[in-house]
Amino acid sequence: MTQSTFQPPAANSYALVGTLFDSRAGALVENQAVHIRDNRIVSVGAPGDLPHDLSRIALDGQTLVPGLIDVHVHSEDWHAPLYLAKGQTSVRDVGCEINSVLRRRDNWNRHGSRAPRLVCTGPLLDNPGNTWPYASQYFNNPVEAQAQVDELVERGVDQIKTYAFIELPCFQTIVDRAHHHGKFVVAHLGKHVNARQAIEAGLDEFEHLSGVGEAMWTEQNVQGTSWEFFRLWSSVDIERANQLIDLIVENGTWVAITRLVWVRLAATWDKGLLEHPQMPYVPGPLLKWWETFAPSNPVGRFPKNMRVPTRMDRSQQAAGMSLFTSELLRRDYNRVLIGTDVPCPYLLPGFSYHDEIETLMQCGMSERTMLQAATLWGAQALEIDDLVGSIEPGKLADLILIEGNPLDDYHALERINAVIRDGEWLDPAELLAEAAEYARTAQPSTERRMDAYY
């Protein structure tokens, strides 16, 4: 029997028959039958191998894709329906107050939860000086840094995150101690630890291309009394860039580019951002916080050892990062990741993921690389590839049904007909309606997220 693809199956055991994206091969495979029972994939193979009495759903004109993964977010409870509506069935929170994020992880990871699967690092670990006090824990020396790692591991975080003002002795201690506990380390790098130093120290993944300008122009970074990372990007030496890329590839370091956050920060002056399709889903308190990032209102946004960037600084920074990204993508490197940094300025859960994809495509990313980064590679970096990231027997049924061929037109990834999260079928339109209602009624919260403004 064949059912409509736009309705949940009536039975708890059924098969989806049609075209799927094989994230290991990076290719579409036609005429495949994916047998799902409850929340697990039972088998993947030829339709003729299915039990004759098994209910079948034909995927005519559609493609079955593993659920998408955003590797860099700062989560809040109200984000959940937006992620799911836009196909993200797993996310990683890389900076949040510990009690809040552990509670959210417990809630979101329950079977039947209308939320993405959540992996978390807990708070940012840093030396004093950064601008996100409500999402950070500080230390003053390597002994204190080691104690912070031990505490977070005891609390049950999945991975460890360091931030931009950390100094090298503390950084090395954190990496070593985290690895002692078997924990993956993510970093937003800065003036005192550049990308080359971090990779040589054993870092697993770095975000935002942070520390790259400092590594390419070490002499300028070391000699300067202030942190001028905006200006370090104003000139990209391709030879220096490729020397660093050689090191990245040689060590297998994961790279979450998050290009969109820099593009948006470089254009906070653009009132056209207020016409983005995401705006009906933006709560008033969040929009008010975004407005504090306007070029005319930089007060409190930058630490004392960093000059406030000009509009030209931001523009050249974004351009330099684009060139480096293109050189990295030229290598066909299989450890590039897709993350957004929501809810930073004009970045909204779900919507910004697809905008991030577009900015990476503009840097030369192929559709095949994009889809693998969005699924299997993301799952590998989050260390949940035993559960999700590919359509294989034994994996959880975290899947999306999209209209069209995403290898021919990457916009097909935005045409989502159904989201399957842990075996539960969800309607994207209903999820968006839920998010719009929250945005319409949201009030300021007493819980501080990110910084004192929000």
CATH classification at residue 49: 2.30.40.10
Same domain? For 338 and 240 the reply is yes
Q: What is the pLDDT of residue 360?
A: 98
CATH of the domain at 326: 3.20.20.140
Give the mean model confidence (pLDDT) for residues 24-36. Answer: 98
Give the mean model confidence (pLDDT) for residues 46-64. Answer: 95
Largest CA distance in the chain: 73
Same domain? For 246 and 352 the reply is yes
In a domain, 435, yes or no: no
Give the mean model confidence (pLDDT) for residues 190-202. Answer: 97
Query: How far is Cα 407 from Cα 23, in angstroms, rounded to an integer?
Result: 12
Same domain? For 302 and 409 the reply is no
What residue type is 299 in one-letter code? V
Same domain? For 44 and 81 the reply is no
Same domain? For 161 and 136 the reply is yes
Q: CA-CA distances (angstroms) from residue 228 to 155, 219, 233, 309, 313?
A: 36, 12, 9, 9, 10
Is the backbone peptide bond immediately before 343 cis, with ω within 30 degrees of 0? yes
Same domain? For 310 and 403 the reply is no
pLDDT in tens, 13-28: 999 999 999 999 999 9
On the question of pLDDT at 6 being above 60, the answer is: no
Among residues 357, 381, 405, which one ends one of the domains?
381
Chain length of the chain: 454
Counted domains in the chain: 2
pLDDT in tens, 63-101: 999 999 999 999 999 999 999 999 999 999 999 999 999
What residue type is 16 in one-letter code? L
Query: How far is Cα 134 from Cα 124, in angstroms, rounded to an integer?
Result: 9
Give the mean model confidence (pLDDT) for residues 221-240. Answer: 89
Same domain? For 94 and 194 the reply is yes
The rounded percent of the chain whose pLDDT value lies above 70 is 97
On the question of pLDDT at 418 being above 90, the answer is: yes
In a domain, 78, yes or no: yes
In a domain, 450, yes or no: no
Same domain? For 259 and 114 the reply is yes
Give the mean model confidence (pLDDT) for residues 202-213. Answer: 98
The rounded percent of the chain whose pLDDT value lies above 90 is 85
> CB count, 10 Å around CB of 331?
13
> Which contiguous run of DSSP H or E holds residue 42?
strand 40-45
Query: How far is Cα 12 from Cα 1, in angstroms, rounded to an integer?
Result: 15
Closest to 255 measured CA to CA, from 192, 159, 187: 187
Query: For strand 399-403 and strand 336-337, is the pairing parallel, antiparallel, or unpaired?
Result: unpaired
Work out whether the CA dihedral 209, 215, 220, 221 comes out positive or negative.
Answer: positive
Contacts of 452 (CB under 8 A, 6+ apart): 133, 134, 300
In a domain, 438, yes or no: no
Range of the domain at 338: 69-381
Same domain? For 57 and 74 the reply is no
Closest to 394 measured CA to CA, from 382, 386, 402, 405: 386
> CB count, 10 Å around CB of 211?
28
Among residues 381, 406, 438, which one ends one of the domains?
381
**Confidence label for 298 from pLDDT (cuts 50, 70 and 90):** low
SS3 371: helix
Give the mean model confidence (pLDDT) for residues 111-129. Answer: 95
Q: CA-CA distances (angstroms) from residue 125 to 62, 339, 358?
A: 44, 20, 31
Same domain? For 62 and 74 the reply is no
In a domain, 80, yes or no: yes
On the question of pLDDT at 214 being above 90, the answer is: yes
Query: How far is Cα 222 from Cα 214, in angstroms, rounded to an integer?
Result: 8
Same domain? For 53 and 122 the reply is no
Closest to 201 measured CA to CA, from 240, 241, 247, 157: 247
170: exposed, middle or buried (Cβ count in 10 Å: 0-12, 13-18, 19+): buried
In the chain the first and final C-alpha atoms are separated, in Å, by: 52
Closest to 136 measured CA to CA, from 453, 449, 454: 449
Same domain? For 289 and 410 the reply is no
Residue 363 phi/psi, 5-degree rounding, is: -90, 5
In a domain, 211, yes or no: yes
In a domain, 437, yes or no: no
Average pLDDT, whole number, for the chain?
Answer: 94
Query: How far is Cα 15 from Cα 399, in angstroms, rounded to an integer?
Result: 13
